[in-house]
Copies of this chain bind each other. A is one copy, B any other.
């Protein structure tokens, strides 16, 4: 189960829901989809969630950009999902392995400044020593440009959305270099009227 990685060009996926807590939720979701370039990933949406698949860096780029554009409306928006790589039961999306390495939404995302809170959990699969890998990543998160704290079953990150997604991407990338099948759950929330407790 080890050393199956081929750098950042492995196919990854993310199954997520983008949830604006607003009567205008349809407009906000459709608006975000309009703004975000999804041409280098495979995408399918149904009434429960959206699944995107492609090169790992593009999957993170698109997911981040969708959240940023939705949160940029000023409405309370949450996104919850699971990144996955190397799932033995999954099919391939080879068509989306071609194309540029540079994420298509990087430039636009850079222009949006947005604070958020995020909880994430890493699940390296099929390994008895999985807890060591998890603790190592939690420790590494502390050196990134985000505030890191412990939560039940998860690690909490606070800061700019782009710094949060960078920490998520780096954690996921580091683990998938060592473990073939990795999943990572996350919930990110912006513009909440609740005070952080």
Does A63 touch B at the CB level, under 8 Å? no
Copies of this chain per assembly: 2
Contact A19 B19 (CB under 8 A): yes
Given A21-B20, A22-B22, A151-B15, A80 and B123 contact (CB-CB distance below 8 Å): no
Instruction: Mark the stretch among A33-41, A47-55, A140-148, A168-176 that contacts chain B.
Output: A47-55
Q: Of all chain B residues, which has the CB nearest A189?
A: B48
Interface size counted on chain A using CB atoms at 8 A: 58
How distant is the Cα of A88 from the Cα of B127 in the complex, in angstroms?
14
Contact B84 A153 (CB under 8 A): yes
Contact B46 A121 (CB under 8 A): no
Contact B47 A196 (CB under 8 A): yes
Q: Which residues of chain B come closer than 8 Å to A48, judged between CB atoms?
A: 78, 117-119, 156, 187-189, 192
Query: In the complex, how many angstroms separate the beta carbon of A25 from the nearest chain B beta carbon?
Result: 4
Q: Which of B51, B80, B117 contacts A151 (CB under 8 A)?
A: B51
Contact A15 B154 (CB under 8 A): yes
